[in-house]
Structure 1
Amino acid sequence: MAASVDSFDSVDSFGTGRLPAAPPGPVPWVAMYHSVGDCSDDPYRITVTPERLEGQLAWLRRRGLRGVSVADLLAARARGDGRRLVGLTFDDGYADFVTHALPLLRRWDCGATLFVLPGRLGGDNAWDPLGPRKPLLTASGIRYVAAEGVEIGSHGLTHIDLTRADDLALKTEVAESRERLAELTGARVDGFCYPYGTVDARAVRAVREAGYAYACAIDPGPLTGPHALPRVHIGQNDTAWRLRLKYRLHRLRRRPVEGV
């Protein structure tokens, strides 16, 4: 029943229509990052240092892989030429993305998707009861990142668990956040990321009905498809051998699906 909510229809990365039907293929490898900076106080393991991120990007490039935005990854796969691409995503929209992550992405010729919270512009990670307060990007910061070629996606308005939201809150978090970001950046917003990675059939339906072309989760199980893409958490402890293991395990464990 869950799989019927999002029947894995093939939608192009710009949300303009369906792509030609393709046989099921392996789910793309999408890396999940959050903050880039000091990780000495990091109870949720959401931070990597700039030095670690650079090592991870270098690892990708040495293997002939290139990090790109999720929109670019899905568009390339639809054309049949995305085999050497991996998705790079950064959740929450931390201000340190501009100071630490963006210069490294440029250096290693990588793209990325940044999922932000338009209801918390210039605020901090107040949803995390433990750990340090981390500042979030302002409206001007998000516009700057978008102008630098980074895909901007929605992480909802305020970072709530959508599986526990009532109908009005769910629609507001999903649909209104897309509208606000489109107005803020002047560009179409096609990607969504479920806060906390939690997802159910109702949340998937709301995201799809709001007009998003794709959405990222963490491990959505039978809901896996264009509106519930699994991702691999990448943290400070992920050195070269751990990255290699995660990459191989992902290719072995993820079942083939249509549309991605």
Structure 2
Amino acid sequence: MSAPDHSRRTPVPWVAMYHSVGDCSEDPYRITVTPERLEKQLTWLRRRGLRGVSMAKLLAARARGEGRDLVGLTFDDGYADFLTEALPVLRRHRCTATLFVLPGRLGGDNAWDPLGPRKPLLTADGIRRAAHEGVEIGSHGLTHVDLTKADDLTLKTETVESRAALTALLGTEVDGFCYPYGTIDQRAMDAVREAGYSYACAIDPGSLNGLHALPRLHIGQDDNFVRMHLKYRLHRLRRRPVEGLR
């Protein structure tokens, strides 16, 4: 008898990756969506019977064997415009989200991007305000370093110390991590797991699998209803089920 096909019964979670929300007239990295475009994208989810939630809520639901109507919404880097531009749209659609921030750059800017405009990052107070609004806060590392190129000390600092800093800032444990640049290898994944995170998000984890190598889809300004539909379908067709998820 052949092994059962679990891929049809347990499709991979659909996790959307956002960054900045605001003016995208100068956007060489194509990481910004306008509030109007975000509004339309969340409308598309609602019309499909889907709802955007934080990674914590998505993974908890999937652990219970539920949540097939949930989509993970993640915002990387912790831009200050999350509070002013993204959060009001999320509220209108009754969505939650996970915000991955850089505790080593509080109140700074996106200095790791050599091109494009400088964008301010949230302060400690801004991160606490987001958490108070029901947003899950996760770590994006301490300073936005590619973990696959980091030496052992930097790798430990970016994973362990960023979690400790956010725990102290929020007064609660931080469970989620997001790999800077989306890059991942076995060494980075092991370091994140050993630092105590219960899950971690990448972009395309390749052969790596499990709760510390969750795939995501980049969502940008050009993603209208048609493109969102195609991305949703192709993601489920191309991605393997995640080990450890029901």
Deviation at 1:258, TM superposition (A): 2.2
Instruction: Find out whether 1:226 has 2:217 as its counterpart.
Output: no
Give a deviation string over 1:9-64, Cα, whole Å, max 9, x none: xxxxxxxxxxxxxx673221000000000000000000000000000011101111
Larger RCO (CA within 8 A; separation ≥ 6): 1
1:1-260 equivalence runs, <5 A: 25-260=10-245
Partner in structure 2 of residue 13 of structure 1: none
Deviation at 1:184, TM superposition (A): 0.3
Deviation at 1:153, TM superposition (A): 0.1
Contact 2:209 2:243 in 1 (8 A): no
Partner in structure 2 of residue 6 of structure 1: none
Q: Secondary structure at the match of 1:106?
A: helix
State the alpha-carbon separation in 2 of the partners of residues 116 and 170 from structure 1: 17
Q: Secondary structure at the match of 1:222?
A: coil
- Which residue identity does 1:199 align to in structure 2? I
Deviation at 1:224, TM superposition (A): 2.2
Q: Report the identity percentage.
A: 80
- Which residue identity does 1:89 align to in structure 2? T
TM-score by length of 1: 0.90
TM-score by length of 2: 0.95
State the alpha-carbon separation in 2 of the partners of residues 104 and 177 from structure 1: 28
Aligned CA RMSD, in angstroms, stands at 0.8
Give a deviation string over 1:138-168, Cα, whole Å, max 9, x none: 0000000001000000000000100010000
State the alpha-carbon separation in 1 of the partners of residues 79 and 241 from structure 2: 33
Partner in structure 1 of residue 3 of structure 2: none
In the TM superposition, structure 1's runs of 4+ consecutive aligned residues that sit over 2 Å from their partners are 23-26
- Which residue identity does 2:54 align to in structure 1? S
- Which residue identity does 2:107 align to in structure 1? G
State the alpha-carbon separation in 2 of the partners of residues 35 and 258 from structure 1: 30
Structure 2 unaligned regions, length at least 5: 1-5
- Which residue identity does 2:175 align to in structure 1? D
